[in-house]
Amino acid sequence: MLPDVDVWLPNTVTQECAVEADTKFPLETGGTFMGWWLYPDTAVVTVMIGPGPGALHERFRFQPDQQWQLEQIAAHYERSGRRETYLGDWHSHPGASRGALSWIDRDVLRRVITTPEARCALPLMMILWGSSGTWQLTAWRAQTVPRVVLWDRLHLDPVQIRAF
């Protein structure tokens, strides 16, 4: 079955992610995507915002410099005439042989969804996995599905990445 969600991703942005991942290899790194939703299930990425100077890069963990990212996001939002917004995040899984999300990644998605300031109910998350020259991108769009008992369930839709 084909994914129902499409993300248009400029090759220049993919290249920026790969360069950033190469620079920090074998530690994790990542960043944020901005752009807009062209249709309810089709996003267009325009820029990538990097990890920031205070980001934490570890072998199996990445934490962006959130204050720096928020400033960059706000600045780009204004520059774009308030058209391009935060779409979601990406990070590297150096040396991984597939693009699965970890439990930590799922917790991050829950936090984004439940943080009102993020204004993002359907965040994208892309994993850049592999190593230099062979990086692959796997993307997901997350949402929470309310349940009567227990916590809300995190639902992940696979995303078809369309390069341009």
Which residues make up the interface to Zn ion (CB under 5 A)?
102, 105
Minimum distance, C-beta of residue 78 to Zn ion, in the bound complex (Å):
30
Residue 58 or 117 with smaller CB distance to Zn ion:
58
Contact yes or no for 75/85 (Cβ under 8 A)? no
Give the span between the Cα atoms of 55 and 72, in whole angstroms: 14
- Nearest in space to 49 (alpha carbons), one of 88, 105, 3, 7: 88
Residue 18 or 44 with smaller CB distance to Zn ion:
18
Residue 35 or 99 with smaller CB distance to Zn ion:
99
φ and ψ at residue 110, rounded to 5 degrees: -60, -40
Minimum distance, C-beta of residue 125 to Zn ion, in the bound complex (Å):
8
Minimum distance, C-beta of residue 105 to Zn ion, in the bound complex (Å):
4
Minimum distance, C-beta of residue 74 to Zn ion, in the bound complex (Å):
25
Q: Where are the strands (E) in 17-135, listed by range?
A: 30-39, 42-49, 56-57, 62-63, 85-94, 124-130
Angle at 39 between CA 86 and CA 74, to 5 degrees: 15
Give the span between the Cα atoms of 15 and 27, in whole angstroms: 18
The residue number with the shortest CB distance to Zn ion is 105
Residue 6 or 89 with smaller CB distance to Zn ion:
89
Minimum distance, C-beta of residue 60 to Zn ion, in the bound complex (Å):
8
Residue 31 or 84 with smaller CB distance to Zn ion:
31
